[in-house]
Each structure stands twice: as C-alpha cells, then as structure tokens.
Amino acid sequence: MRKGANPIEEYKQSKDGNPLRITEDLERFTTQGWEALTPSDKELLKWIGVFFRKPTPGKFMMRIRMPNGFTTSAQLAVIADLSKRLGNGMLDITTRQQIELRGYTIESVPEIFERLRGVDLRTLQTGQDNVRNINGCALAGLTPTELLDASPIVVDLDRTIVGTGGNPEFANLPRKFNMTITGCVENCTHNESQDVALVPATKFIHGTLYSGFHILVGGKMGSGGFTIASNLEWFIEPGQAHDVVIQIIKLFHDEGARGARTQCRLAFLLEEWGLDRFRRELVQRLGWQPGPAGKDARSEGHNDHFGVRRQKQPGLHSVGIRLSVGRIRHESLRELSRLADAYGNGEIRLTTSQNAILVNIPEERLDALLSEPLLRDLSPEPSRFFRGLVACTGTDYCNLAQIDTKGRAVQISRALEERLGPDGKPITIHWSGCPAGCGNHQAADIGLRGMKVNVEGRSLDAVAIYVGGRTGPKARAGTQIMDIVPCDEALPDVLANVVKHLELFKQVQARPTVRDRILMVPATEMSDEEFDFHAPSMVSLAESTIAASAGTLTVANVASRKVVQVMVCSINDLKTGSGYSALAKGKQLALFLHTDGRIFAVDAECPHAGGPLDESTIKNCEVTCPLHDYKFDLISGRCSTDPVLTLQTYPVFVEDNQVWVEIHE
C-alpha cells in the first residue's frame, strides 16, 4: 500500500487503518453532542453512513445501502417511520439506487441503526474511501431484454465487501470506488462512468455460445470531469466475475495513489500504468488469464424501464414511476410501500435515474394500481422534460453545491413544458450543483453544472451548459457549449433554444471551425435544416440573455473564454479570517476562510496601489488593504472606500478538502 499524504489518510491511520472503528466512539458522540465533533470525527463517521451537513448544523444525513437498488415494502415502511419521527420528513433517492435519510440528530443514530438492522438494512461503507452501493439493472431477473440476471453477483460481492458488520479489508481504499454489474442489454445504468463495470457480452467457445461480461475500468465523473472507462478486452463468465472484481479492488487498494485527493481514483492509476501493465498485474493476482473479448451484447439505445412493462414472468408487469428528482416525503414513501404489498409481492426497485419501479403486478390488477392517487402525483407517464430529469442534492443539504438544483430543475422543466409542449421524444436533463458531478451532468442530452458568479456587485447563481453526453457502447462526455448562464427568468428560453437545436449543438465537437461560435443561437424561429453557425442572422446567446435580464448580465465578456479549474490549496491550509496566498494560472490570488465556512478568492493585489491583500484579515465579508486601508466586499468586489474601484473575485468550490478556483483564460 502506498504511503498516505493527505488529512483523510491521517484520520484513517488514527484508527490503525480501520476507519470502521469509529463505531467505538458512538456512545461518546451521543453523550457530548454534535458540537464536540472534530474534523476527524466528521470524516470518519462517513464510513458508517453518518454525514455531518454544514447547511443544516446539528442535523445529519444517513445513506442506506441497497445493492442493485432492491428494496422491500417492509424496509420502506421503516425508513418512512424513521424520517417522520427522527428526521425532517424528507428523503432522497440517489443516482446510486439507494435512499438518504435527512434531518436527524447524532443522538438518534443508535436507534436508527437498530431499526434498520431489523429489516436487513445497513449504512456501512456508503461514504468516503469504500466501494459504494453497487449498481445494477433495476429490473434484473424480470426484464425480458436482459442477457442474464446479474443481481446474484451484486449481492454476493456486497456480502464479501461489506457483509453484516463492515469489512476492514475493503474499508481503506485510496478513494471511493463505484461499480455496476449488469446483464441488461439496454443501457439502463451508467457503466462507462464507473471505476469497474461488468457489461453483458457473448462469445462462442468451442462452438457453444456463452453469456458473460466484458470488463470496463477507470471511469469517473468527478475529479476533473467525465473519464470514459476503458475496456480490458476480456470475456469472463458469470462464475468468474466475483474473483475478478475483488482482485481489481485489492489492486487499487495496494497500488492506488494516496496523495492529493483529486488524483486518487482508479482512473489515475490507469493513466500512470497504462492498460497493458494493469492487465499484467491483474493476471498475476488472479493466477489465470481471462480469454479475449467476445461481442458486446448491448444495444445502442437506452431504456429507463419507465411506465408499464411486461416482465419475463407470464402475466406479470412492472410499473416505473417518476419521483421528481428523487425527492420524496415520508407519507409518499409509506404509501409506495403499501402499494407494493397491495398490488405486488412487496418488492420495489430503485433506479439510477432516481425513480422507483413497482414489480410483479398481475395484469388484472394494473388498472386499479394506475388509478391510485399516488400514481397521479408520481406519474408512470411523465412529460419528456421530467422523464429523464436528474438532480444532485444541491445547496439544500450539500456544502459543496454552488446552487439549488432540485427545486430549480423542477421549475425549469415545467417552464420547458409550457414553451415546447410535454409530448415528444424524452430527453435526459441532469443537474450537478458543482464540478464534483454527482448529478452526472456530462452523461446527459443536456447537462447543467452550477456555479456562483459576481455580476455588478451581486452574487448570482449560474450554470454551464453541456450537450450530447451519454453512456453505453458509444459513450461520450457532454460538450460544454455555454459557460456562464445566470439562473434567472431567461434561462428557460436559453434551454428551449438548446432543446430545439439539440442535434446541431451535439455536432459542435466534430466541427472545430465553429468552436468560437458555439455560443450562438438563432435570433428567430428556424428549422434545424436552416440553422447555420456562420449565418449573419445569428445573435449571441449572451446578448439575448442580457436583454431578457434587463441589462444586468456580463456573460458577453466571458462567454467565449475558456474556463480552467485550478486546485490551489487544501482547506486545512486556510485559517479563519486570515489571508492565504495562492498562484493560479499566473494570477496571484488571496484566499479567505469566513467564520461561516465560506471561502472567497480575490486578486491578491489591491487595485488602488498594489497593496498585498493576502496579508490582510477579514471582518464580516470585507477585506481591508494593509497599505492604505481600502475596504473591499468579498462577494461583490466593490470598494466602500472608493466606489470607482472594484476587486476581481473568483468562483470557489471544495472537493474532498481541496480548494479549487475557476479562472477564465
């Protein structure tokens, strides 16, 4: 195992390399209260699924492990009851097919653990440097289109990696590890963004056609953007899958980097070694050589398993329903539990698109189920703008998020319905509140990444817009076509234009001659055939948005410039109230940590006479130049001493304790 060189590695070593030992401190935490938690305590608690949330001091989030997204009515009933009695009544279904319980206190953790164990649920190893909840086809074992049912492999792997009490052997990885194991041929999971994915494949061996898997490795969504997983070009049979996956995890455990957290995913080990060395090292650990690749059994399309579908079991159906951006109240979750019992066999499946599927519904019971009041709210036939809508947690509960995602995603989709109509080919729209990419914004038809911008002294929510992302056999990372677009009343019109000309925007990457014009959209209605990036009738999207925003926007000055995200320091380098000097792309910056946890980045040189602002301290949200006492607001950059002066400010975000700044070149 490589030597650790970051605070998280130090925290793990404080528990002798077994962070699951944080359970030994639970009694102390419940006695002393959340205010006594140290930074180490807060990080280590994530190993047992307990998350301190800065936006809700004293109220925690708990992530419940649900391999393959499989759950039962009894489990949902318990979770709903816990949310009502001990939480804030609100729950989230995540893109990893699990449920997050919100708003409970540290004192209630032992009771929650006990109730969950009573229905065979656990929260172990759902955060930090673990194998996260293992994804799979939500209709595994039921859909007629699967090549094979891979869910037993998922369950078996989860039993090995986590078990009933946690497994220290797999709890000290260099970083998080995402996996998908699927036999579905219709790309209902995001395989290419995973550290490891087993995808369905076939191969003739000695004249007999076998069903098995191809192995994809090194995918990721955060830590620098969407990296598409590489195919090891091997074919393995179902009985070999467990062994291969376990050895890949162990290889990552032993050889993965443990320095800067943003460089510790499996993708970076593959970048360092190359695929050939990775294969050699893995074969040595396996003790046998996997055979060459067969044929990828997947189709090029995508299936979300929505609506009413026939199962492979005669006379039975599944009903996929929309849970708007995955957020659901405890009353609705309990009702979903009741419906699973009343119309099916008590099974419910959660999807990577934050929705739920009722399964094993007899055909003669379908009409009655579809008439239930809950299914009028959680429709199995949503509009094209809601069917593929995904959003990360956002600023409601996540301190990394820059903007509200869930509420705004729903609002914008409703506005798109009004402008373009609810009917038509469904499109995927994914929202991420920051560059960490938890909403998978680069794997959607339209992706939005949140940020904060300063416009004429005001801090505004804005998004970067991506198009053309997808996973599957022809995976492609979404292309950023717009840089800073404010989340104001003009945003629905901006996105409506993108929707209308989506196919043309998707072609931008293949037409480098128009790279500088990709922010151009038609000023008036025109068909896709008439759309021309070079036509003189084009107007800048920035200009049209300015007009709609009463002239308050400065997008025109930055829209065509490149955005660079630079890691400048660790959050532990910053001291509350004091300045910190950092260099980013040739710019000398001053960073400040506010008492409320916010981090600000500004030019280090005072615009008055060049005074060193990084040697200053801050009071409230104002920095005072040590040379001539000129005062600047850290949010707007405005100078209260001389209103003519303005200090340049920069968007800041934090990922895994590393501080990043966005610079426009």
Q: Helix, strand or coil for residue 237?
A: coil
Residues 400 and 549 in one domain: yes
Predicted confidence (pLDDT) per residue in 393-422, tens digit: 999 998 888 999 999 999 999 999 999 999
Specify whether the backbone of 85 is left (phi greater than 0), alpha (psi in -120 to 50) or beta: alpha
* Cross-strand partners of 318: 309
Residues 547 and 428 in one domain: yes
Residues 401 and 438 in one domain: yes
Predicted confidence (pLDDT) per residue in 488-526, tens digit: 999 999 999 999 999 888 876 533 333 333 333 333 343
Residues 288 and 155 in one domain: yes
Better pLDDT: 654 or 447:
447
Out of 21, 65, 175, 322, the active site residue is 175
From the CA atom positions of the chain, what is the Rg in Å?
25
Q: Helix, strand or coil for residue 634?
A: coil
With respect to residue 302, please indicate whether it lies within any of the assigned structural domains: no
Note if 53 is an active site residue. no
Q: What is the pLDDT of residue 657?
A: 77
Out of 438, 487, 569, 606, the active site residue is 438
Out of 433, 437, 472, 478, the active site residue is 433
For 490, which DSSP code? T
Q: What is the pTM of this model?
A: 0.81
Note if 452 is an active site residue. no
Give me the DSSP letters along 429-476.
Answer: EEEESSTT-TT-GGGSSEEEEEEEEEETTEEEEEEEEEE--B-STT-B
Predicted confidence (pLDDT) per residue in 628-650, tens digit: 888 998 988 889 888 878 899 88
Out of 63, 203, 279, 452, the active site residue is 63
Note if 322 is an active site residue. no
The enclosing H or E element of 416 equals: helix 406-420
Residues 568 and 551 in one domain: no
Q: What distance in Å separates the CA atoms of residue 506 and residue 91, rounded to the nearest whole number?
A: 35
Q: Number of structural domains, the chain?
A: 5
With respect to residue 138, please indicate whether it lies within any of the assigned structural domains: no
Residues 180 and 319 in one domain: no
With respect to residue 197, please indicate whether it lies within any of the assigned structural domains: yes
Q: Please say which residue of 252, 270, 296 terminates a domain.
A: 296
Q: Helix, strand or coil for residue 101?
A: strand
Map tokens 């109240």 to a residue: 329
Note if 175 is an active site residue. yes
* 409: CATH: 3.30.413.10
Q: What distance in Å separates the CA atoms of residue 599 and residue 593, rounded to the nearest whole number?
A: 5
With respect to residue 131, please indicate whether it lies within any of the assigned structural domains: no
Region 363-371 average pLDDT? 97
Using an 8 Å Cβ cutoff, are 471 and 194 in contact? no
Region 551-579 average pLDDT? 66
Residues 6+ apart with CB under 8 A from 44: 11, 12, 15, 19, 22, 128
With respect to residue 141, please indicate whether it lies within any of the assigned structural domains: no
Residues 578 and 468 in one domain: no
Q: What distance in Å separates the CA atoms of residue 275 and residue 422, rounded to the nearest whole number?
A: 45
Note if 619 is an active site residue. no
Torsion of CA 617, 622, 626, 630, to 10 degrees: 180
With respect to residue 144, please indicate whether it lies within any of the assigned structural domains: no
Specify whether the backbone of 67 is left (phi greater than 0), alpha (psi in -120 to 50) or beta: beta
Using an 8 Å Cβ cutoff, are 391 and 325 in contact? yes
Residues 415 and 291 in one domain: no
Q: Please say which residue of 377, 412, 432 terminates a domain.
A: 377
Answer yes or no: is pLDDT of 548 > 70: no
Q: What is the pLDDT of residue 529?
A: 41
**How does the average pLDDT of the chain come out, rounded?**
89
With respect to residue 61, please indicate whether it lies within any of the assigned structural domains: yes
Using an 8 Å Cβ cutoff, are 226 and 275 in contact? no
Q: What distance in Å separates the CA atoms of residue 308 and residue 306, rounded to the nearest whole number?
A: 7
401: containing domain: 388-557
Q: Please say which residue of 263, 296, 329 terminates a domain.
A: 296
Residues 448 and 311 in one domain: no
Out of 15, 53, 176, 279, the active site residue is 176
Q: What distance in Å separates the CA atoms of residue 647 and residue 639, rounded to the nearest whole number?
A: 7
Out of 326, 439, 468, 579, the active site residue is 439
Residues 362 and 274 in one domain: no
Residues 269 and 201 in one domain: yes
Residues 6+ apart with CB under 8 A from 495: 412, 416, 446, 465
* Cross-strand partners of 213: 200, 236
Using an 8 Å Cβ cutoff, are 403 and 420 in contact? no
Q: What is the pLDDT of residue 549?
A: 34
With respect to residue 132, please indicate whether it lies within any of the assigned structural domains: no
Residues 356 and 258 in one domain: no
Note if 279 is an active site residue. no
* 650: CATH: 2.102.10.10
